[in-house]
């Protein structure tokens, strides 16, 4: 699954990109306006220049002794001439030119008005009944240079605007979303069993309904889980009582009945009632494992619980149990003590039921909260290991059982945030089975 992009990043990058695009759009429009205004102004300058020079050129040419000679106006000092001009007579012969002129820039035949060539902008006008013609030329390169210089000055602030906008927008968005970020941090810090209301402050108006909906949902979950726990407790009590009474009556019947078919039937009924009692107990444990409330309010030492359960099994089980505890005085975990007891009992029962009777079941607890239960026995195929935590799934064995022990352990591990791993053969051995449980801290 792809990681989600934060709202802060989306807003920061989106607003910065929007400001940049708007700046570029405004710059483009401004460049077009500047180009139009610049061309209009420079065209007007060409017209004014042509009209002024033509009036002076007519006087100059008329006062010559020979009016058909070409005269080039000398510059007062060396300089680059942006605007050049050419004065011709009615026959097209050049009569007066500027000092820095390239005649190839002008067409052979003079034309009136504004026009453009590949390299120049030209303006032509005539005087004295079309006796004299003047054309003024300006290089288009100078206009392009002016346009790009103006555009560069408009784009130059953008180099500093982008990082400044990103930092400013990022700071403003983060400050505006501070309530949402605090709310997210509170949700992330909560444990799986914490169903108390989430107190959100300074939430935006758009998020307030979500916070209220979350608190209503949590309240509903608390009521539901409380009802399920109450039902589980009441059901367990109500089932145990009639089962125990029925089992007692059957046992009394077996003592009073003579040997024969009635005794055999009573024995079968007693066995069935014992199996039903164990099954109901497993179902109650499974209901508790799936109802929630598997994480305690504060971490507790698990060593007293482990030693107490091991002592119970050692007194009743025919197979010996070998317990190895860490040298540390305490091993803390946030798992609920009752849930840990149920989980540990199911794992040990599974090891005793499916392990070899002449080999001890090894139970060890490490300082980092790793609980291992190893039993000797046949190797469980890899294809069956993944199904053992499903309900009513059993390995290929003759041992009895309902197939719920590992399902209960897996449900408690998932609900408490622990990690249950099943391995066969046991690590470092050629046979056996290991159930390892990494408890949450």
Q: What token pair was written down for 355?
A: 């392990």
Maximum pairwise Cα distance, the chain: 164
Low-confidence ranges of the chain (pLDDT < 70): 1-5, 65-80, 191-194, 228-229, 232-233, 235-237, 283-293, 296-297, 391-403
What CATH number labels 294-441?
3.30.565.10
Report the alpha-carbon angle 291-242-315, nearest 5: 75
Strand (E) or helix (H) holding 290 = helix 261-291
Model confidence pLDDT, tens digit, residues 349-405 = 888 888 888 888 888 888 888 888 888 888 888 777 777 777 655 555 555 555 677
Say which residues have a Cβ less than 8 Å from residue 401's Cβ, sequence separation at least 6. Answer: 350, 353, 394
185-228 pLDDT tens trace = 787 777 656 677 787 777 777 777 888 888 888 888 878 777 76
25-30 long-range contacts, Cβ below 8 Å, gap at least 24? 27/151, 27/154, 27/155, 27/158, 30/154
Q: Which letter does DSSP use for residue 294 in this model?
A: -
- The DSSP element (H or E) to which 327 belongs, if any, is none
Following DSSP, what letter does each residue of 254-269 receive, concatenated? HHHSPTTHHHHHHHHH
Please give the order of strands across the beta sheet that includes 361-365.
321-324, 361-365, 370-375, 433-438, 419-423
**Residue 383 half-sphere exposure, CB side, CA atoms within 13 Å?**
1
What tens digit of pLDDT does each residue of 105-119 get?
888 888 888 888 888
Strand pairing partners for 72?
97
pLDDT given for residue 1 in this prediction: 42
Q: Sign of the CA dihedral 28, 29, 35, 41?
A: negative
Angstrom distance (rounded) from CA 399 to CA 221 = 39
């Amino acid at each position: 699954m792809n990681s989600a992009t934060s709202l802060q990043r989306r807003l920061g990058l989106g607003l910065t990109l929007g400001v940049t695009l708007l700046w570029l759009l405004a710059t483009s429009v401004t460049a077009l306006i500047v180009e139009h205004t610049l061309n209009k102004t420079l065209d007007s300058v060409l017209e004014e220049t042509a009209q002024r020079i033509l009036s002076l050129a007519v006087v100059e040419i008329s006062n010559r002794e020979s009016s058909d000679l070409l005269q080039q106006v000398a510059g007062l000092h060396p300089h680059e001439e942006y605007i050049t001009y050419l004065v011709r007579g009615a026959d097209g012969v050049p009569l007066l030119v500027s000092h820095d002129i390239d005649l190839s820039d002008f067409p052979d035949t003079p034309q009136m008005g504004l026009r453009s060539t590949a390299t120049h902008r030209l303006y032509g006008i005539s005087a004295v009944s079309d006796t004299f013609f003047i054309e003024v030329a300006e290089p288009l390169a100078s206009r392009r240079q002016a346009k790009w210089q103006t555009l560069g000055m408009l784009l130059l602030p953008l180099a500093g605007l982008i990082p400044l906008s990103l930092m400013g927008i990022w700071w403003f968005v983060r400050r505006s979303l501070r309530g949402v970020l605090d709310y997210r941090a509170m949700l992330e810090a909560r444990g799986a069993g914490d169903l108390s209301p989430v107190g959100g402050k300074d939430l935006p108006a758009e998020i307030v309904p979500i916070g209220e909906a979350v608190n209503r949902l949590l309240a509903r979950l608390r009521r539901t889980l409380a009802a399920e726990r109450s039902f589980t407790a009441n059901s367990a009590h109500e089932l145990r009582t009639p089962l125990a009474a029925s089992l007692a009556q059957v046992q009394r019947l077996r003592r009073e009945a003579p040997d024969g078919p009635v005794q055999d039937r009573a024995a079968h009924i007693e066995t069935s009632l014992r199996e039903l009692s164990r099954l109901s107990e497993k179902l109650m444990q499974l209901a508790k494992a799936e109802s929630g409330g598997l994480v305690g309010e504060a971490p507790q030492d698990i060593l007293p619980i482990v030693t107490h359960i091991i002592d119970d099994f050692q007194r009743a089980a025919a197979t010996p149990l070998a317990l190895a505890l860490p040298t540390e005085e305490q091993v803390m975990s946030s798992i609920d003590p009752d849930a840990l007891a149920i989980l540990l009992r199911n794992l040990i029962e599974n090891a005793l039921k499916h392990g070899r009777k002449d080999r001890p079941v090894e139970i060890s607890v490490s300082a980092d909260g790793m609980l291992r239960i190893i039993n000797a026995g046949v190797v469980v195929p890899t294809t069956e290991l993944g199904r053992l935590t499903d309900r009513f799934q059993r390995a290929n064995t003759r041992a009895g059982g309902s197939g719920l022990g590992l399902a209960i352990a897996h449900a408690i591990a998932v609900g408490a945030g622990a990690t249950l791993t099943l391995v066969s053969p046991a690590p470092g051995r050629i046979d056996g089975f290991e159930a390892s449980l990494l408890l949450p801290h």
